[in-house]
Every structure is written in C-alpha cells, then in structure tokens.
Chains A and B, each alone.
Chain A
Amino acid sequence: MIDSVKEILKGRKDISGWKLRLTNIESQELFFVGKSLDMNRSKNVQHLELTIYMDYEEDGKKFRGSSTAEIHPTYTEDEIREAVEATAFAASLIKNEYYPLVKPREKNSDTFISSFMQKPLAQWIIPVTEAIFKADEYREGCINSTEIFLDKTNTRILNSEGVDVSFTNCSAKVELIVNWKETGEEIELYKDIEFSDFDSEVLTNKVDEMLKLARFKARAEMTPKLKKSTVLLTGEPVNTMLSYYYSQANAETVYNKLSRFKTGENVQGNTIEGDAINITLRKNLSGSTESVPYDADGFPISDVDLYDEGVLKRYWGSNRYCYYLGIETTGNIGNIAVKGGSKSIEELKKEPYLELLAFSDFQIDDLTGDFAGEIRFGWYYDGVSTIPITGGSISGNLLEAHQKILLSRELQQENNFSGPKTVKLFNVNVAGIE
C-alpha cells in the first residue's frame, strides 16, 4: 500500500513534501472478572497516516500548510487518489509559518529491547496473567477484575526528504481493580499499570502493593477538615504533579505563548527554599512504553538535559516547533527522569502532614499550574499518631508552591516517569469531611 501511495504522490508536482507513518498492531487481550476469564480478544490492524505539505509565498515570506489523513487498507486505488487530492487541498488552505521536514540522519542505535520481543505475543499473555494473580492471596481482599492488553507495534516512518526508519515496540497495559473488606463496607482501588518489559516479580509486587493499600483504605476514616495542610504526594500523583515542568518546557507550548518559562532562568524563582528541580528527558527508560528510537516524524531521539537546579536549560519538541524557536530539534521524547531531593521520606514526615497516595483523578492544569483531586486514600499524621484517611479533596497551584517544594531522596519508576517517590508541599487547601 505504501508503494501505491508513494507512486501517486510522485505524480503530484504541486505537493511540496509528504510523510507516511505505517503502523501494524497485533494485540492480545484478556478480560477477567475475579479470576475467571470473561472475554478474550485479539486484533490485527494496519494504519497508514499520510501528511501532505504545501508551500507558498506571500509578500516574500514562505509559508507551509499541512494536513493529515488516514489511508485505510481497504481503500481502492481511486479512493487513495481521492484521499491524496483531498489532503493536498486541505494542506493548501493552511497558512502556517514555514518549517523544513526531518532529514535522514544516522540510525538510532542502543535502543531498548523488550523481553516481549523474544517470543510471539500470544505466549506472553499467560505469564502476565499468572504474575497478576500470584498476588491475589489474601482472605479479606482480592482482585475484583482486571483487563490485560499486550500490543506489538511495527512502525515505519518515511518522508519526501528520504527518511525511512522502522522499529518495533511492545507494550502491556493492565487495568486493575482490587477490593478489600473488613468490618465496614467493601472498598475498591483502581490502577493502570503500563510497561514494555516483563518482569514477573515487579508486576506481582505492584499488584500486591495495591492490595495492601486497599487493606488500609478499608480501615480509613474521613479526611479531617484541615482547611490548610502540609501535603505529601506519594507514588503516581508525583508523576502528574511534576509533568507540569515537562509540558511548560515544550517548544509548541512556548511558541503558542502558553508557557512563561524562559531558558536560562530559574523557574522556581531566585530564592529556592526547598529542593531544586532537575529533569532529564531520556531516550531509553527500562520498561517504559515510551522508549522508542524515533519520534513520530522519524527524528532520532537522544537524552536531553532539561532543568538543572531549577534552571531551564532548553526547550524540547518536534522538528517543527524547535525550528520555529530557532533551536536544535530534540524530537518528542516521552521519558521523564527527575532527580531525587535532599531529604529521605522519613525526614519529610517529621512534622504533621497529609500523605496522599491515591486520588479519583489527580490533575494539574498544564497552563495555569492549578492542581486538584478527590482523595481516595492517604495517611494523616497529626504529630502524635498516623491514621488512614479517605474522602474530601486537595487543591492548590504549583507555581505558588514550588519555591518550597521538597523531593524525596528515594526514587520510584512508573512506566515513563522516574523520579522522587514523594514530594512535600506546604499550605495546600484541604476540603476535609470531619
């Protein structure tokens, strides 16, 4: 199919450039209710995404339009021609600042090899299932339901400048719901676990960790009406919170004037009273589903130092937006590594705190830095005793809090994020219940 599309594109002298992105996805999926299989699914699909670029000049200034459309594998030759025509027409209507396409570069070496590639995907579904259920051994708690998705994706990216790169990556996603019941109501906790490399023990431990959390949630009391509190975020919410620094350093965000972060400046202010932010974007992060050698334009990815002691070293982004900013392209990199801080978790817990580990949906607004979430599980330490809590919410703004933010020395890895296990924030709004 790629050859047919290329042939048609070759005949179009009005087109300034093109990009093709072909993905073949093979998938194995199992859906369990309790320990019983409720449905099995598999998938074999192909997607071909065509982008056409059209250049023109106005008042001596060069512009570039582009448009993207999918060429379905069931398209006839005539339908492909129609799609090319329609996409070229759409691109001709778009007047964006000019940018060049990615040019061929040295092939990316040293890419992450997943264990899932060692044998057919269908043979991995049982080991993954067994690793999940191995942790399901408690009397009061259990796995309520789980969904397992294993994908193997072959990607090929080509463009009119001669880029032609291919790679294969595998990913696993587990949706896990666990229950626990003691004397009160049965409770549940929810978690998505994503990984690209299989380690049976790591997966079992993650499930076990969830079940243990559920046990404490079942004993939880309502979050006290604190109004304001020191808050520790532990686990997944840390990733969400620190992702703000990643999105604010994105070249597209900067170009659209949606970021106020400037390179060379300390984004936390000139007098950091807590820990400084240090972030590196990584090509390879072991087990991450974002560990790929090329971005969606076929640009080879390398490690990039983003923040050093709170100072934004550079922006990151696609070929287009880096060109707009007049900076070297980094490509879109999805792995984020944040350096740990100055204190241990034990040290962070010396004064009263609310430590929050699970939310309904903890969010930070990429634009404003506002964060909030309904508390599903946490710990409250009032200076004397520590109790499990649930309910209510926290809210605040990272830009108002990050001068004093403290990061734990202990690290964690959740898929594409490696960084402190715990962060400490002061004076956070708490809408408690009792």
Chain B
Amino acid sequence: MKVLMSQYLKKVKPLLKHLVFELSKDFNYVSVLGTDTKGKTYDVKRTGVDLNDSFWNERGFVVRAFNGFCYSEYSFNNIDKDNISEKIEEIRTSIKEQLDELSRNNIRHNEYSLIDEEPIEKSFYGEVGILPEEVSSKDKLARMQQMMEKGFSFSQQLVDFRVSYDEVHISKVFISDKKDLEQSYIWSEGYLVPIVRKDTITKYTYKGYSGLKAVELLDEMESGIEYAVKEALELLDSSPVEPGEYDVICSPDVAGLIAHEAFGHGVEMDMFVKKRAKAQEYLNKPVASSLVTMHEGASAAKHVSGYLFDDEGTLASDTIVIKDGILQTGISDLLSAMKLNTKPTGNGKRESFERKAYARMTHTFFTPGEDNLDAMIKSIEHGYLLDGVLSGMEDPKNWGIQCMLTKGLEIKNGEFTGKIISPVIMTGYVPDLLKSITMVSKDFKLSGNGACGKGHKEYVKTSDGGPYIKAKARLG
C-alpha cells in the first residue's frame, strides 16, 4: 500500500516558498526543511498497557541561511498565513542579533562557500504491506496481548513478557530557491522482551523486528515468542567470561554493530573536518581483511533509513566505504563535503527539526562472503558465537570500540558446549579486529531497532547488519 504525504505539509508549502523568497532578500542562500511525523507506540506488559504518541513524532521547520561566512539556522513550529510576516521577521532578527553579539565579542568563525544547488523537483512515497490506519488500535493491542499471554505460557519463571510496537509515518519537504522535494514513508519496529528470574538472578533478552513496514511486522513478531523465552531462560545459567582474547563468530546483528561502531561512525566526515577521525589518514589503505566490503547509504538497502533525500536536501546514495579491505571514502553531510571539497553522500540527518544536521549513518553493512556457518563453527578450537546487541560506542579518533552484547555460546573443538557467557563486553582496536576476519558467511540480515546517537545525543534511526563473520576479539 502506498504511503500518503502529509496534507499539512502540502498545504503549508506555498508559505514555505514565500518564506524562502523573503529571507533570500537578506541571505544569499536560504532553505527550509519541514517535517510532519506521526506515530504511535504500543506497549503491553504484565502490569498494564500503554498507547501513546511515538518518541519520533514532530511537526516543525528549520531554516538554514548563509550569513556571509558560514551558516545560521533557526528552528520553529508555529507558522500560518496570519503570522508568516511576523515569523520571517523573527527569523531574520534572531539570526542577525546572534551574529552581531558574536561579532561584537570578536568570536572567530569558519568560512564556507555558498551552497550551489542543481534545480530539482522530486518526490518519494514509500510502500508498506498494511497501512497503520487499516487495522484499529484495538486490534493491534489485542494481538500484542495474545503474544504476551503466549509468552507467559512457556515458563513459570517469567517475571514479565513485554511486547512493544512502534509505527512511524514520516513526511518531509525541502524547499530552497532551486529545490522542491517531498517524501513520505513508514517504518516500524517491535520488541519481544522476556524477563526471567531464578532465586536472586534476574536476566532478560530481547528479540527485535524492524523495517520499512507497518502492521505486517506484528506477523513476524508472533513467530519469535517461543525462541525469545527459551533464550532468556538459558541466560539464567550463564556465567561471566574469563577475560581474554578469543576466536569469535559474530552473528549478523553483532557484525552490524561492528560495522556501525567501527567504520560507520569512523567515516562520518564531519569528524574529518574536526580532525577527529583516524580513518582520514587511512583512505585508500588497508583497514580490514580482504574479505571485508562495507556499504553505507540510504539507497544501499530498503530499511528504516530508506529515504529519497536527507535533511539538507541532498539525494540519497550508496557509498562503498570499504572494498576488499581497502578504505575507499566516508559519508558526509552537505557542509562537511563543502569544507572537504568532496561530494555530499546524502547522510546529513537531524534528530528532529529542532536539532542541527550532522553526517550520520543510514544503512551500514558488510556484504556476504562464501563461507558456511557450520564450517565457521567447526573451525574454532575454543571461542564463542556472539549474539544479541545491547549497545555500542565509537571512538573515531583512537579507533577503540565498545560493544555490549547479550551472550556468547561457547565453542570447543568445533562444537557448541552448551555453556553460555553473559553479558559480554567486546572491545578492541578497530583495524586489529577487522584485519582478523578470516571467514564471512553467505547469510545476510539487517536490523534497525533502537536509535543511534552521536556521542551521547542526536538520536536518529539507522539499520546495520551483514553476514556471520569469524574474527579475534577481546571479551570481558
């Protein structure tokens, strides 16, 4: 089913064009991004049910203007035909007053050139299996309630079995003197979270589902209930790992986390501008095993960050970041590309209209290889199959990596022993980790659950994944 564009943004577009026209009298470049994102979050747990607006909901605008040396921005969410003149004046005054204050105090500034755009008018409307409005909230909650009850039927040791589902309908317009872009698409995500307890030990796990999908995601979730409970129960008998370096097989989720943290954040080119990325020194040099090829881009896959244009009006692309182990290039927002004299890759994303755009990831993944998972397991004398992503953190400057994982399944002499380690912290020096990759499976999976931050803020939706990979990693 085709996703429909926000009627509000369609209606307000002439006002935005007027705003750009008027502000262009004072500033040599003006653009405006308009957003109207609507979504609902459904949560079902043992003690109750919640149905609220999604965290991602927003409706507002951000103006970007060239101030003669760099760019100024103003975010607002109140505009109509009666206050448009007032709003234009407010934006003009606010930018100028801020600049005057900075100039009075001799604050140095960077120099940017004027954004040079090609004329373009384009639109994109996504498709999903079942639109959110085709199924009532009551029916969605009833299905989720059934999932919870089914989960509870599998074990007396469950403290809770939580089911959550988020459907988000994004509409955006981007208007400048030369650009008229609009897009509308839907992504959804769901979680099954069993929480189990035995005596004093509490453990939990989650199974995540996501994609450029809507209500059809609930069908997928139903199939994972028994496995999720079984996995949580197994964790009750887990133990901490003996700290050290091991041969590991990373599941597609964990491989995706490595791609994301190791070389996704590491090649965000606003970090190149700040000289915060070690990757900059390694362009066209080997950074990984020759088995590694890595893509990044909104058009590289159909998943939660699958848009036509980014939040700066740049069209999406598919960037090959690493090819056969050699670092090729990075991903960038528009301003960083201008500063570095490179081509913007359509990776300028904002948490919302209220925040600045940065170079951000979209879909980040390793491509599949030629190996079979069975052969990979057989090849390990003593190591672990790592699975379940809790969180990750980048260190683009010094190429450290932190991955918090749910579990590792012990392998000895090519066989699973049945022993589970949990939780697991995997750390290491990125090139060492990537160069240690010796086997890559034929499988491929992307996951788009949760949110990606830059540092400890600026949360955006991304997906990552890949095949199973065999490498050497430090576990603790």
A residues near B (Cβ < 8 Å) are 27-31, 33, 35-47, 65, 67-70, 72-74, 89-91, 93-97, 122-123, 125-126, 129-130, 144-145, 175, 177, 179, 185-188, 190, 192, 225, 227, 255-258, 260, 359-361, 363, 365, 367-368, 370, 372-374, 376, 391-396, 399, 429-433
Contact = CB atoms under 8 A, between A and B. Distances in A.
A108 to B, nearest CB: 27
B57 A70 contact: yes
Contact of A93 (B98, B137, B202, B429): B137
Contacts of A192: 455-457
B289 interface: no
B398 A185 contact: yes
A125 B104 CA distance: 13
Interface in B391-405: 391, 393-395, 397-398, 400-402, 404
18 contacts: A30-B102, A37-B102, A37-B110, A40-B70, A41-B356, A46-B78, A67-B52, A97-B48, A125-B98, A192-B455, A227-B243, A258-B159, A363-B404, A372-B425, A393-B427, A393-B474, A394-B476, A429-B243
Interface of B: 8, 12, 40, 45-53, 57, 59-60, 67, 70-80, 90, 94-95, 97-99, 101-102, 105, 107-110, 137-138, 141, 159-160, 195, 200, 202-204, 240, 242-244, 273-276, 335, 354, 356, 391, 393-395, 397-398, 400-402, 404, 423, 425, 427, 429, 455-457, 474-476
B457 A175 contact: yes
Given A37-B107, A185-B398, A393-B402, A260 B45 contact: no
Contacts of B356: 29, 31, 39, 41
Contacts of A374: 393, 395, 400-402, 425, 427
Contacts of A258: 159-160, 195, 202
Contact of B90 (A44, A129, A394): A44
The residue in B71, B159, B397 that gathers the most chain A C-beta atoms within 10 A of its C-beta is B397
Contact of B72 (A41, A68, A74, A376): A41
Contacts of B45: 256
A43 B274 contact: no
Closest 4 CB pairs of A and B: A431-B476, A431-B243, A374-B402, A361-B393
Contact of A190 (B71, B159, B335, B455): B455
A323 to B, nearest CB: 13
Contacts of B53: 68-70
Nearest to A96: B48
Contacts of B200: 260, 399
B110 A33 contact: yes
Nearest to A190: B455
A256 B46 contact: yes
A1 B404 CA distance: 45
B77 A36 contact: no
Given A40-B72, A41-B75, A43-B354, A372 B474 contact: no
A45 B48 contact: no
B98 A187 contact: no
B108 to A, nearest CB: 4
Contacts of A123: 101
A33 B272 CA distance: 11
Nearest to B274: A145
A35 B99 CA distance: 16
Contacts of A430: 243, 476
B74 A43 contact: yes
Nearest to A92: B138
Given A36-B108, A46-B77, A90 B51 contact: yes
B109 A122 contact: no
Given A260-B200, A374-B393, A376-B395, 19 more contacts: A40-B67, A40-B99, A90-B137, A94-B49, A97-B47, A122-B97, A125-B101, A126-B105, A126-B107, A188-B398, A192-B456, A258-B195, A258-B202, A361-B393, A367-B204, A374-B400, A374-B401, A393-B425, A431-B476
